[in-house]
Chains A and B, each alone.
Chain A
Amino acid sequence: MSGADRSLEFLWLKRSSEFRKEVTPYFGYMAQSGFPLFVSFIVLSSAFGYIKLIRDLPSGFPIALVGTVALLLVLGWSPLRSWLMMPDLVFHMPREAEMGSYMRRSFRRSVMMTSLLVIAVLLLYWPIYRQGEGEAGFWTILVFAAIMRATNLWGAWKERRMAWSGVRRLLRLMRWAANALALAVLLTSAVWQSALFLLLLMGLFKLLYRLPDKHSFPWERLIEEESRTRRSYYLFFGLFIDVPTLPSRTASRAYLAWILKYIPNRHRLTYVYLYAASLVRTEIGGIVLRLTVLFALIVYWFAEDGWLSGWGAAGAYIILLQLVAVQLGGLRHAHRYTVWRHVYPLPDAERTSSLLLVDRWSLAAAALLMWLPAVVMLLVQGLIIPALFVLLAAYAQIWFVRPGRLRHKLAEDAEEE
């Protein structure tokens, strides 16, 4: 290996350890918050459900379907940390020809991380699979999974190199579909059939990937992917502590943006308009939305289970609603340092009340959406008291407790400045 190669590998190692150093303190803050408790709650309750499930698998349980979905998620997902950033376009692009040794490190990291994940899922799935009629043994499935893991990483790299986004998306979709098919065949058919099918698919994709126009090295794609990964780390840490603000990504979200048109064109609503737009378009809105949908599902499952006569669902709902509320609270940083605060002919006090207004109505909407599916389920089972209690609790929190707290936090922020 030449000295130049070595220096790029060294750069990779340096960046990787710098990232680790950068995020370590945040894990500390996370540990101090209630998050580990929340995670242990989730882990314990799912472990309980899992053990109950494998001990007494209901007849007609969709064994192959569950395995296909679970393995598909961990086999199709092929992340790649490249640590690349904008200045690399100027300072390292001249060394593109030597970047192979640098990226090899990224691939090695990705293989290790994702393989561990695959093994974990496989170990969890195995006791379920064994109770079905599938023919493949544990080692056979493991070998297939290893081959598919490697092929997916290779395919995802080819996709990253593709010049046109449309073609790239199409091929990614096809890769996921092929994975699903291969897994379904593996879990239901004879081993030789699965092997033949997998080989066929791999051959097909080798041809497919050859067709479209490709970059020799996808600098911009890798830089974008890296910054997205970093942002998601910081969004996560943002749940527990103030984090440095990275330039946020915006999405148009037409399905939410129509709300903006209904904010009347009044002077005193200027900040309401601004905050509503920021919520709809930035990642905070995206996360609140995704969490709402996910949590609605979780609470629905609790309700369907009828656990603790509906109080289980009520408890889970109240805990999960706090998480949505914390996320939404991030909106207060959105225009903390904006120059418009000093330029616009508006009193700064207006900003606080506008933020409270946007916060209140968006949290109320999320809270309602999260509870709606569960409430139907609870009413069907005749569990009226927990259903109503939760609505009252959420109302009290959103209208009476939260505004005071938020005001307090805003005052604290103002003092810091």
Chain B
Amino acid sequence: MSEPILQVAGLTGGYSPRRPVLHDVTFEVRAGEMVGLIGLNGAGKSTTIKHVLGLMKPHQGQVKVDGVTLEDNAERYRSAFAYVPETPVLFDELTVEEHLRLTGMAYNVAEKEFGERQEQLLDEFQMAAKRKAFASHLSKGMKQKVMIMNALLSEPPLYMIDEPFLGLDPLGIRSLLERLVEVKKRGSAILMSSHILSTVEAYCDRFIILHQGRVAAYGTLEEVCQAAGIEARGGALEDAFYKLVTEGSQ
């Protein structure tokens, strides 16, 4: 079994120590696997991601990326992942190319590789014609593409992708998924949160089902179905999810 890139152990957290949003959340994402983080609105997906980003302090438990906590080694922790937020955040005054250049600098991508990767990404996401466009002039879907291209450019050990499909056109979704499969094969770990369960089921190796801040089920499709008490088959993730979140709240 490959080494874990992201380890979340016994994490209880949230903005206020008096009102924890997450309760004792434990999971890991290993090199070369894609893990789907699913849950209803308000289940704690974004809070989990914020904890991994180090924007929130755990009340209990710890988060390790690439074997270190943020306190141990901020530089190693920070440069080990790329993050695609739910809503695109770009600098209005920079062009598409300049964003890529900035990411290349932040993650120390060598000049030669940078050039190659940039061209490939611009081409693959049909953004070559927009390379000199300012972010403020892009549509929401295009902004999302720029976010994704930046994440892919840095080729980090871990990708954290929050709701990547919102606003993307069908070709964009396809390019993204193809690239994720590719980086996964090359050994990167991916944590992806999404509501599109059919896609999550088709592409992810394991699943974390969060419900009311707790892990309701965690594992492969078989394990999740088993936890829900249903038979594993194609399309079963949606049924298992429905069962887990409706039973869990009763």
Interface status of B150 (Cβ within 8 A of chain A):
yes
- The answer to whether B74 and A90 have CB atoms under 8 Å apart is no
Interface status of A290 (Cβ within 8 A of chain B):
no
Interface status of B83 (Cβ within 8 A of chain A):
yes
With a cutoff of 8 Å between Cβ atoms, the chain A residues found around residue B57 in the complex are 163-164, 213, 215
Known A-B contacts A7-B105, A92-B106; A216 and B53 likewise in contact (beta carbons under 8 Å): no
- The answer to whether B53 and A91 have CB atoms under 8 Å apart is no
With a cutoff of 8 Å between Cβ atoms, the chain A residues found around residue B17 in the complex are 164
Interface status of B89 (Cβ within 8 A of chain A):
yes
Interface status of B78 (Cβ within 8 A of chain A):
yes
Of the stretches A93-101, A108-116, A234-242, A382-390, the one at the interface is: A93-101
With a cutoff of 8 Å between Cβ atoms, the chain A residues found around residue B105 in the complex are 4, 7
| Closest B residue, CB atoms, query A166 | B16
Shortest C-beta distance, A339 to chain B (Å), equals 16
Determine the distance from Cα of A163 to Cα of B85 in the docked complex, in whole angstroms.
Answer: 22
- The answer to whether B85 and A164 have CB atoms under 8 Å apart is no
With a cutoff of 8 Å between Cβ atoms, the chain A residues found around residue B53 in the complex are 89, 93
With a cutoff of 8 Å between Cβ atoms, the chain A residues found around residue B83 in the complex are 89-90, 93
For B15-46 the 0/1 string (1 means CB < 8 A from A) is 11100000000000000000000000000000
Main secondary structure of the interface of A (DSSP, over half): helix
Interface status of B113 (Cβ within 8 A of chain A):
no
| Closest B residue, CB atoms, query A91 | B102
- The answer to whether A216 and B71 have CB atoms under 8 Å apart is yes
- The answer to whether B89 and A89 have CB atoms under 8 Å apart is yes
- The answer to whether B147 and A97 have CB atoms under 8 Å apart is no
Q: Pick the contact of B91 from A87, A93, A164 — CB < 8 Å?
A: A87
CB neighbors of A among B32-90 (8 A) = 53-57, 70-71, 74-75, 78-79, 83-85, 89-90
With a cutoff of 8 Å between Cβ atoms, the chain B residues found around residue A4 in the complex are 105
Interface status of B99 (Cβ within 8 A of chain A):
yes
Shortest C-beta distance, B156 to chain A (Å), equals 8
How many residues on the A side are at the interface (Cβ–Cβ under 8 A)? 25
| Closest B residue, CB atoms, query A18 | B93
Determine the distance from Cα of A224 to Cα of B93 in the docked complex, in whole angstroms.
Answer: 20
Shortest C-beta distance, B92 to chain A (Å), equals 9
Shortest C-beta distance, A214 to chain B (Å), equals 8
- The answer to whether A96 and B74 have CB atoms under 8 Å apart is yes
Shortest C-beta distance, B58 to chain A (Å), equals 9
- The answer to whether B70 and A216 have CB atoms under 8 Å apart is yes
- The answer to whether A95 and B106 have CB atoms under 8 Å apart is yes
- The answer to whether A89 and B106 have CB atoms under 8 Å apart is no
Known A-B contacts A89-B53, A90-B83, A164-B16; A96 and B89 likewise in contact (beta carbons under 8 Å): no
Q: Pick the contact of A89 from B75, B85, B150 — CB < 8 Å?
A: B85
Interface status of A322 (Cβ within 8 A of chain B):
no
Interface status of A245 (Cβ within 8 A of chain B):
no
- The answer to whether B74 and A97 have CB atoms under 8 Å apart is yes
- The answer to whether A90 and B85 have CB atoms under 8 Å apart is yes
| Closest A residue, CB atoms, query B73 | A97
Which residues of A are interface residues toward B (Cβ below 8 A)? 4, 7, 18, 85-87, 89-97, 163-166, 213, 215-217, 219-220
The 5 listed contacts between A and B (C-beta, < 8 Å) are: A89-B89, A91-B106, A94-B154, A163-B57, A216-B74
The 10 closest A-B pairs by CB, nearest first: A97-B75, A163-B57, A86-B89, A87-B89, A94-B106, A94-B78, A96-B78, A94-B79, A87-B91, A97-B74
